[in-house]
Amino acid sequence: MSDPGQLGQRILARQLDEQISAGFEVGRRLRVLDVGLGRGVQALRLARAGHRVTGLQSDPDLRELFEKDLAEEPEGIRERVRLVAGGSEDTGAHFLPGTFDVVLCHDGLIQARDPGITLAGLARVLDAGGLLSLLIRNDAALAMHPGRSGDWDAALAALDFPERTGSALRLETLTRGLAGIGTPLRQWYGVGIFGSDDCPAEEEKADRMLAAEERAGRSDPYRSVAAMLHVCGARGGAG
């Protein structure tokens, strides 16, 4: 999956904070696992907010980049972050069941050899009442971007993609999967609806763009045609 970009990360942060506020008491310091954390935008943001964060990353180059970014943070933030070498399918090898309050998988599920097994592994390390936050490519709307840009061959190929591949990560399939592992869907959002990855330099224009993306990301039919879907499940049981 491609990085959601500056605007996408800001939208993702707002959606994630909304789900954390809905699921946990104010001021609680959470145990967070970020699986396939990439550059760790959300991991660092949550660590700055006082949460204890573990990052799981298989790519040594990305681990090195994250470590460089982490080294620039104050000591108190660095102490709240741990980096572990491993991929999205390795959670069971590294962590005991119920270890985390929040599990993020914003770049790992689509790369997994077996998304169903990987999803079950993510839920396994989530404590009762915990939040599972997934970011997936929206296979049902792959034709939107090439269609808007006039690339009709790519648009036609994208229209055939879900039927040709039987994507396991369509929203309907993922919703059934979440229910089956005891982490039923709580909310889903669209990310990247209007096709821009970067915020404008002008603060007022950036705020209006952010407001439009955020409103559309929680509204039908707009969220259904987003480039990515942010899917949030809640682990059964009291937190």
CA distances from 163 to 109, 135, 143 (A): 20, 21, 13
Distance between CA 134 and CA 118 in Å, rounded?
12
Q: How much is the pLDDT for 1?
A: 44
Query: Is 239 domain-assigned?
Result: no
CATH of the domain at 104: 3.40.50.150
Contact indicator for 82, 99 with CB cutoff of 8 Å = no
Tell me which residue range forms the domain holding 89: 5-137+166-234
Which tokens go with 60? 């040594």
Q: Is the pLDDT of residue 238 over 60?
A: no
Distance between CA 95 and CA 89 in Å, rounded?
12
- With bands split at pLDDT 50, 70 and 90, how would you rate the model's confidence at 6? confident
Lowest mean pLDDT of 2-6, 26-30, 77-81, 92-96, name the range: 2-6
Q: Is the pLDDT of residue 161 over 80?
A: no
Distance between CA 94 and CA 54 in Å, rounded?
11
Query: Is 159 domain-assigned?
Result: no
Compute φ and ψ for 229, nearest 5 degrees.
-120, 135
Amino acid identity, residue 4? P
Query: Is 149 domain-assigned?
Result: no
Lowest mean pLDDT of 20-24, 91-95, 234-238, name the range: 234-238
Q: How much is the pLDDT for 196?
A: 65
Query: Is 208 domain-assigned?
Result: yes
Q: Is the pLDDT of residue 110 over 80?
A: no
Average pLDDT for the chain = 90
The count of structural domains within the chain is 1
Task: Give residue-wise pLDDT tens across range 192-230.
Answer: 998 666 676 688 888 899 999 999 999 999 999 999 999
- With bands split at pLDDT 50, 70 and 90, how would you rate the model's confidence at 42? very high
Q: How much is the pLDDT for 141?
A: 87
How much is the average pLDDT of 107-127? 88
Task: Give residue-wise pLDDT tens across range 57-80.
Answer: 999 999 999 999 999 999 999 999
- With bands split at pLDDT 50, 70 and 90, how would you rate the model's confidence at 239? very low
Q: Could you tell me what percent of the chain has a pLDDT over 70?
A: 91
Query: Is 158 domain-assigned?
Result: no
Buried b (16+ CB within 10 A) or exposed e, 127-157: beebbbbbbbbbbbbbbbbbbeeeeeeebee
Q: Is the pLDDT of residue 35 over 80?
A: yes
Query: Is 160 domain-assigned?
Result: no
Q: How much is the pLDDT for 163?
A: 57
Query: Is 143 domain-assigned?
Result: no
Q: Where are the beta strands (DSSP E) in the chain?
A: 31-35, 52-57, 81-85, 100-105, 126-137, 185-191, 228-234
Which tokens go with 3? 């990085």
